[in-house]
């Protein structure tokens, strides 16, 4: 089946999923009733392609086409959810009845629903289908050039891995009133990993990027070359890294990807479900000071072309710019429809799901700290002994307590106000709310990440963005090798 294109009217689009208005009406009638507080149907068609190169050879080439529908009924705080990867009138009706039964909603539906278009939200990623339908030879040519350029960077680069993936997703959300929202979502990503070897010393560097764009995104201004050189640079740099010191010290976080610490250590704690259930360290803190007065944090799903942006969320609510923390004061949480209704507030456009097989939940989009007024160079000059962290690797966070542990994939010593030797083995340990209060300087150089973020929650993964200006955090615990 071809995804909907051309005529984007609700009736035509649903027909391409194998559903007409009478079938949809019967399913909605079975789904709805006086005891149902909320309900929706989420149709999805996905076409994805990926190619991976390792040691100059194609190690993987895959193409997947899948589609399905998820049906949800909500009664109070109880959600009934059923899905099917086969779509026709009979299966849709069966899924609607199952979702209603799971939600324990009695009675019979007596609704007459007319299918009608709803507000589409924004137009953040207008990409033609041809921008993603790129011949395999063109993708292989790009990967081959990546391999050549990486090896030419330094003879110590001994192994190169690269992959490029494109994804085109058509989402159709039908609300309980029959209103239909259609969103065509492109997504591309390029990953490069280089392994540098010097004797027995073996180090890895990685880089990449992407967004809601077409394949040409990587070719514009030779953007792909930047990712290659960055991966090779990191690998070579680490060959000369010294063991990280350990202890409590001042840490300067660089702009961009280090915002992942903000995302994990703070962002998840500001999601509506955790706070409604009282399991977040930020529960009940709206209107109170939770951070340094220098700290303001937003979640913005409306930035054109960004990996975490959406025209509408996966419940059909237009995304928006949500101020979470302003001048150190907590202003609000991220809400989907269920948690917003139960909390007595408006949804914020943050209801997200991995696919039609999953029920939505409150999730981040693009989460970042707003810039301050400090000069980044002056921030570093003010540190007599500390660590400058440019990039993070894996980490763990406890939402309830806010405690986190992150490994630094690129970090340096700061000695007498100067960046000196690169370090390895640095681990950053702290508590999200506590770290926010320890921020003593915020730079004017806000930078968003390159477009590589993927966020996991309750077994679901969704694309996100992060960002940060240069900031200084005093007294952060650093785990390392030397003391």
**Are residues 228 and 409 in contact, defined by beta-carbon separation less than 8 angstroms?**
no
**Same domain assignment for residues 407 and 440:** yes
**Same domain assignment for residues 211 and 339:** no
Of 238, 264, 294, the domain-final residue: 238
Which token pair is 475? 């007294």
**Crossing angle, helix 223-238 and helix 136-153, to 10 degrees?**
40
Q: What pLDDT is attached to residue 166?
A: 95
Mean pLDDT of 14-30: 85
Separation of alpha carbons 467 and 452, rounded Å: 12
CA 398 from centroid of its chain's CA atoms: 19
Mean pLDDT of 179-188: 93
**Same domain assignment for residues 208 and 312:** no
* 2 has pLDDT over 60: no
Other CB atoms closer than 10 Å to residue 304's CB: what's the count?
13
Burial class, 414, CB count within 10 angstroms (exposed 0-12 / middle 13-18 / buried 19+) = buried
pLDDT tens-digit series, residues 384-439: 999 999 999 877 778 778 888 889 999 999 999 999 999 999 999 999 889 999 99
Structural domain includes residue 3:
no
HSE toward the beta carbon, residue 335, CA cutoff 13 A: 18
**Same domain assignment for residues 435 and 314:** yes
Structural domain includes residue 308:
yes
Separation of alpha carbons 267 and 44, rounded Å: 27
**Are residues 291 and 437 in contact, defined by beta-carbon separation less than 8 angstroms?**
yes
Mean pLDDT of 85-104: 91
- Residue 440: domain span: 247-479
Structural domain includes residue 95:
yes
Q: What pLDDT is attached to residue 397?
A: 79
* 332 has pLDDT over 50: yes
Other CB atoms closer than 10 Å to residue 317's CB: what's the count?
26
Q: What pLDDT is attached to residue 15?
A: 79
Mean pLDDT of 307-328: 97
Handedness of CA 28, 31, 33, 38 (dihedral sign): negative
Q: What burial letters (b/e) apply to 14-33, b meaning 16+ CB within 10 Å?
A: bebbbbeeebbbbbbbbbbb
Separation of alpha carbons 147 and 159, rounded Å: 9
**Same domain assignment for residues 203 and 251:** no
Separation of alpha carbons 162 and 466, rounded Å: 23
Handedness of CA 249, 250, 255, 258 (dihedral sign): positive
Domain count, the chain: 2
Q: What pLDDT is attached to residue 299?
A: 98
**Same domain assignment for residues 257 and 186:** no
**Same domain assignment for residues 260 and 232:** no
Q: What pLDDT is attached to residue 96?
A: 93
Separation of alpha carbons 32 and 35, rounded Å: 8
The closest alpha carbon to 285, from 178, 483, 441, 436, belongs to: 436
Q: What pLDDT is attached to residue 340?
A: 98
Instruction: Tell me 462's DSSP state.
Output: E
Which token pair is 359? 């029920």
What pairs with residue 83 in β-bridges? 70
Structural domain includes residue 2:
no
Separation of alpha carbons 186 and 129, rounded Å: 9
**Same domain assignment for residues 262 and 401:** yes
Q: What pLDDT is attached to residue 117?
A: 75
The closest alpha carbon to 14, from 178, 172, 177, belongs to: 172
Q: How far is CA 20 from CA 10, 16, 87, 480, in A?
A: 10, 9, 11, 62
Of 189, 216, 238, the domain-final residue: 238
* 126 has pLDDT over 90: no
- Residue positions counted in the chain: 483
**Same domain assignment for residues 229 and 262:** no
**Sequence-ordered list of residues with C-beta below 8 angstroms from that of 223, at least 6 positions apart, any chain:** 209, 217
Q: What burial letters (b/e) apply to 157-194, b meaning 16+ CB within 10 Å?
A: bebbbbbbbbbbbbbbbbbbebbbbbbbbbbbbbbbbb
Q: What pLDDT is attached to residue 477?
A: 94
Across the chain, mean pLDDT equals 92
Other CB atoms closer than 10 Å to residue 201's CB: what's the count?
12
Structural domain includes residue 5:
no
Of 216, 238, 260, the domain-final residue: 238
CATH number assigned to the domain comprising residue 182:
3.30.2290.10
**Same domain assignment for residues 298 and 422:** yes
Mean pLDDT of 81-89: 93
Structural domain includes residue 209:
yes
**Same domain assignment for residues 21 and 159:** yes
* Residue 1 pLDDT level (bands cut at 50, 70, 90): very low
pLDDT tens-digit series, residues 37-70: 999 999 999 999 999 999 889 989 999 999 999 9
Q: What pLDDT is attached to residue 415?
A: 97
Structural domain includes residue 364:
yes
**Same domain assignment for residues 227 and 164:** yes
Separation of alpha carbons 285 and 275, rounded Å: 9
The lowest-confidence range among 7-11, 81-85, 228-232 is 7-11
Tell which wins on pLDDT, 284 or 177.
284
- Per DSSP, helices labelled H in 192-349 are 223-238, 259-262, 272-276, 337-343
Q: Scanning the structure block, which residue is given the tokens 């994939």?
A: 409
Query: Which three-class secondary structure string do you get for 185-213?
Result: EEEEEEEEEEEEEECCEEEEEEEEEEECC
Phi, psi at 24, each rounded to 5°: -65, -40
CA 159 from centroid of its chain's CA atoms: 29
pLDDT tens-digit series, residues 133-165: 889 999 999 999 999 999 999 999 999 999 999
Separation of alpha carbons 395 and 392, rounded Å: 8
Q: What pLDDT is attached to residue 3?
A: 42
pTM value is 0.94
Separation of alpha carbons 424 and 480, rounded Å: 8
Structural domain includes residue 4:
no
């Amino acid at each position: 089946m071809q995804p909907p294109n051309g005529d984007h009217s609700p009736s035509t689009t649903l027909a391409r999923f194998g559903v007409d208005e009478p079938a949809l009406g019967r399913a909605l009638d079975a789904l709805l009733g006086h005891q149902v507080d909320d309900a929706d149907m989420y149709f999805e068609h996905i076409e994805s392609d990926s190619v991976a190169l390792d040691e100059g050879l194609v190690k993987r080439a895959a193409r997947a086409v899948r589609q399905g529908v998820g049906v949800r009924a909500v009664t109070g705080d109880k959600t009934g959810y059923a899905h099917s990867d086969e779509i026709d009138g009979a299966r849709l009706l069966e899924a609607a009845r199952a979702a209603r039964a799971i939600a324990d909603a009695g009675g019979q539906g007596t609704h007459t629903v007319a299918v009608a278009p709803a507000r589409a939200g924004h137009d953040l990623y207008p990409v033609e289908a041809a921008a993603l339908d790129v011949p395999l030879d063109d993708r292989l040519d790009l990967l081959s050039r990546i391999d050549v350029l990486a090896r030419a960077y330094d003879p110590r680069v001994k192994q190169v891995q690269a992959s490029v993936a494109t994804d085109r997703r058509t989402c159709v959300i039908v609300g309980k009133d029959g209103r239909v929202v259609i969103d065509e979502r492109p997504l591309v990503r390029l990953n490069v990993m280089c392994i540098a070897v010097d004797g027995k010393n073996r180090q890895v560097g990685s880089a990449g990027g992407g967004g809601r764009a077409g394949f040409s995104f990587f070719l514009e201004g030779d953007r792909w070359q930047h990712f290659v050189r960055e991966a090779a640079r990191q690998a070579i740099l680490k060959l000369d890294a010294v063991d990280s010191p350990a202890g409590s010290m001042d840490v300067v976080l660089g702009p961009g990807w280090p915002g992942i610490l903000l995302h994990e250590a703070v962002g998840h704690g500001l999601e509506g479900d955790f706070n409604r259930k009282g399991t977040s360290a930020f529960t009940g803190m709206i209107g109170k000071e939770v951070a340094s007065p220098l700290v303001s944090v937003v979640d913005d799903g409306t930035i054109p072309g960004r990996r975490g942006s959406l025209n509408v969320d996966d419940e059909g609510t237009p995304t928006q710019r949500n101020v979470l923390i302003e001048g150190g004061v907590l202003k609000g949480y991220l809400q989907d429809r269920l948690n917003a209704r139960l909390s007595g507030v408006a949804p914020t456009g943050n209801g997200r799901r991995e696919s039609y097989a999953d029920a939505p939940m409150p999730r981040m989009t693009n989460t970042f700290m707003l810039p301050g007024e400090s000069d980044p160079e002056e921030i570093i000059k003010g540190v007599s002994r500390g660590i400058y962290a440019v990039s993070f690797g894996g980490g763990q966070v406890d939402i309830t307590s806010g405690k986190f542990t992150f490994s630094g994939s690129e970090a340096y010593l700061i000695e007498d106000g100067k960046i000196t030797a690169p370090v390895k083995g640095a681990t950053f340990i702290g508590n999200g709310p506590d770290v926010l209060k320890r921020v003593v300087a915020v730079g004017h150089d806000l930078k968003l990440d390159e477009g590589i973020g993927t966020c996991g929650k309750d077994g679901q993964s969704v694309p996100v963005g992060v960002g940060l200006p240069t900031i200084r955090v005093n007294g952060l615990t650093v785990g390392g090798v030397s003391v």
